[in-house]
Amino acid sequence: MSPVVIALGSLVLMLVLIYSGMHVAITLGLLSFIGVWLIRDDVGVAANLMAQAVSDAVASHIFGVVPLFVLTGFLVARADVGKDAFEVANQAFRRIRGGLGVATVAANAVFAAITGISIASAAVFSRVAVPQMLRFGYQPKFAVGVVAGSSVLGMLIPPSLLMILYGFLSEQSVGDLFTAGIVPGLLLALAFTVAILLMATFSPHRVYRGGQAQSVDTGDLMSVSRMLVLMLPIVLLIGLVLGGIYAGFFTATEAGAVGALLALVIAIVRRKLSWRGFWEVLIETGHVTVAVSFLIICANIYTRMLAMSGTPQALVGWMAAAGLGVAAFLLLYVLLILLLGTIIDSSSIMLIVLPLMLPIAQQFELNLIWFGVITVVAVEVGLLTPPFGLSVYVIKSTLGNSVDISLGDIFRGTAPFTLAMLVVLALLIVFPSISLVLLQ
């Protein structure tokens, strides 16, 4: 067999093994080892390549960035920062049609600018926003749909764990990727808001039980000073972490350390963190970091196997011979990601497709920062699509039996937001300047 046939066969076998239940990282590592062994006909070469790839991957600074931003996310969740953002947003949008839904999107956008983890957003706002929306007469399907849809902002608005991962795989600046994610993230939040307003205006029965919302203007209004007190920690976190990166004061790794320290101080000052709670946060951070790091290492090995086989160059030649240009490549790329999003998680999708697709994108001379934004948005659609929509399962697990709603209803509730994401994705592909405007 030719090296290209071996590499393409590994892609097919990879999907079979993953769909059969094998862990993505183990699949990548195993197929890489076998692929190099078959290509070079030497098991020693395969073993040496794996050892070198592991060493190079571990030596990368990415292994400092990941745990620091993950730790920051878990600490601010413990400190009830998401709850505070929702309370302020709730008051700001209380008189608008679908106001609690808009407040959830706004609070999620703010929370995303601190945590960078969509799953954390889904868990926090399932507890904070869903009970409030149900209390004021919103449809359960709409309430969970808003939370699931807006939770994806956590991976687009910086800091973003997926963008850090993409930066490692593509060897692009994490700071530039964060900057490129700001406008698309705000555009996506705006698209969600427009979708909510349209549903509340023209199809109120989809938003409210009985087609009519109860008044949310109950009790004393929050004072301006109280709102400022609640927003102060959020402003400090965003200002120090993102402002420090954009101003050039910190690298991404240093910004993660500053964010984690400030989040720890906020949690302690608010008396939201016991010694036991702190230990649990450290354990959760360790679990996420190890899982992501293991995936990165195995993806690095798989990338080297593909490069050794010459598959990316062969695919570029095939596309050129078939008369397929940049537009066809991008369409096929996005469709592949959306298809994979129905069966595997976001990080795994990137680790599977990028080693093959990045060289092709470079051959077409595409801007890899813009390509990264498109990748993240397309991957995040998978968090909402059945049967594997991870955000949906997190929401269902978080709510437990407190809300009588099925997984199918949650998926149906996310449909308008999935459509909004696809519209934004199309705009980002057609108008690259949306992603690159702050870098010019």
Average pLDDT for the chain: 83
**Looking at 67-71, 211-215, 384-388, 423-427, which range is the least confident one?**
211-215
Model confidence, pTM: 0.80
Q: What is the pLDDT of residues 225-278, one digit of tens each?
A: 888 888 888 888 888 887 887 777 887 778 888 888 998 998 898 888 888 889
CA 351/CA 342 separation, integer angstroms: 16
pLDDT confidence bin for 311, thresholds 50/70/90? confident
The encoded tokens of residue 33 equal: 């080892």
Contact, 413 vs 141, CB < 8 A?
Answer: yes
- Give me the pLDDT at residue 272, please: 85
**Looking at 212-216, 328-332, 393-397, which range is the least confident one?**
212-216
pLDDT confidence bin for 217, thresholds 50/70/90? low
Contact, 187 vs 427, CB < 8 A?
Answer: yes
Of the candidates 207, 185, 192, 197, the residue with the CA atom closest to the CA atom of residue 416: 192
Of the candidates 369, 360, 384, 387, the residue with the CA atom closest to the CA atom of residue 438: 369
pLDDT confidence bin for 368, thresholds 50/70/90? very high
- Give me the pLDDT at residue 388, please: 67
Q: Please provide the distance, in angstroms rounded to a whole number, between the alpha carbons at the two ends of the chain.
A: 47
Torsion-angle region of residue 113: left (phi > 0), alpha (psi -120 to 50) or beta? alpha
Q: How far is CA 40 from CA 30, 48, 171, 308, 313, in A?
A: 16, 12, 27, 9, 19
CA 112: distance to chain centroid? 10
Decide if pLDDT at 427 tops 90.
yes
Interval 72-83 mean pLDDT: 80
Interval 77-89 mean pLDDT: 81
Interval 377-394 mean pLDDT: 79
Between 142 and 78, the higher pLDDT residue: 142
pLDDT confidence bin for 424, thresholds 50/70/90? very high
- Give me the pLDDT at residue 369, please: 95
Q: What is the pLDDT of residues 198-213, one digit of tens each?
A: 998 888 888 888 766 6
Decide if pLDDT at 397 tops 90.
no
- Give me the pLDDT at residue 121, please: 77
- Give me the pLDDT at residue 39, please: 87
- Give me the pLDDT at residue 61, please: 63
The rounded radius of gyration (Å) of the Cα atoms in the chain is 22
Interval 186-198 mean pLDDT: 93
Contact, 86 vs 128, CB < 8 A?
Answer: yes
Decide if pLDDT at 29 tops 70.
yes
Contact, 359 vs 302, CB < 8 A?
Answer: no
